[in-house]
A and B are shown apart, each in its own frame.
Chain A
Amino acid sequence: MPKQKKPKEPMPPLRLWGPAVSVAWLIPGGGHCLLKRYGRAALVLFAVTGMFLFGLMMRGALFKPQTGDLLTTLIYCGGFVGNLANGLLYFLTVWLGYAQPDVPGMVHDYGTKFLVAAGLLNVLAMVDAYEIAVGKKN
């Protein structure tokens, strides 16, 4: 018997998940807060902001998009997207002049990774906020 293809689920309307995902991007944990998951919101805020601040205090560098060979493009554009995923934390850092130049050193290098990882954790939180907003999760 041939395997039947599952029908594609239609995309939920934007008004359902748009505000939660936008706020989750701008303020870590904000999406969960908007959806009245206060405990989880506090944990996400603590983890993402904590990691970002430690990255800054370790004098990590923020990526600027650069193109060149494949690896350079991947590292710099990917790193920039990771940094940008921190939302307001990223913009405030740039606007207030806390962005550091890239300098060699083990601690600075860890700091740079912390700044990108904080953004990637925020992406996970945004996906979670989306799933809660559209009713896939409680």
Chain B
Amino acid sequence: MPKVNLTHFEAAFLFSLFTSIVLGVVTKRTDRERVIYGLYCFGSFLLALFVLGWLMYLGHG
């Protein structure tokens, strides 16, 4: 089994991608709604990732 070393960002990006796909698939009733909700979740994850990342960077001093 190959070993991968991911950075914080890469791990969070992959987590967001996989989670958004499943959330998009299971929550809505039409394919269009599913795609939109999946993209919305992915965008929200990335936005939270950048905002929290900057907050931690600035808070660290």
A and B are partners in one complex rather than unrelated chains? yes
Given contact pairs A57-B4, A98-B1, A121-B19, A138 touches B29 in the complex (Cβ within 8 A): yes
Q: Given the known inter-chain contacts A127-B26, A137-B29, please indicate yes or no for A107 contacting B21, CB distance below 8 A.
A: no
B10-18, B43-51, B52-60 - the one binding chain A = B10-18
Q: Quick one: closest A residue to B2, CB to CB?
A: A57
Interface of A (DSSP majority class): helix
Interface contact A44-B25, CB-CB below 8 Å: yes
State how many residues of chain B have any CB contact under 8 Å with chain A. 20
Q: Which residues of A contact B (CB under 8 A)?
A: 40, 43-44, 46-48, 50-51, 54, 56-59, 98, 106-107, 110, 113-114, 117-118, 121, 124-125, 127-128, 137-138
Residues of B whose CB lies within 8 Å of any CB of A are 1-6, 8, 11, 14-15, 17-19, 21-26, 29
What are the 8 tightest A-B residue pairs by CB atom distance, in nearest-first order? A128-B26, A47-B21, A51-B18, A47-B18, A121-B22, A57-B4, A110-B11, A124-B26
A–B Cβ pairs within 8 angstroms, 11 of them: A40-B25, A44-B21, A47-B19, A50-B18, A57-B2, A58-B5, A114-B11, A124-B22, A125-B25, A127-B26, A128-B26
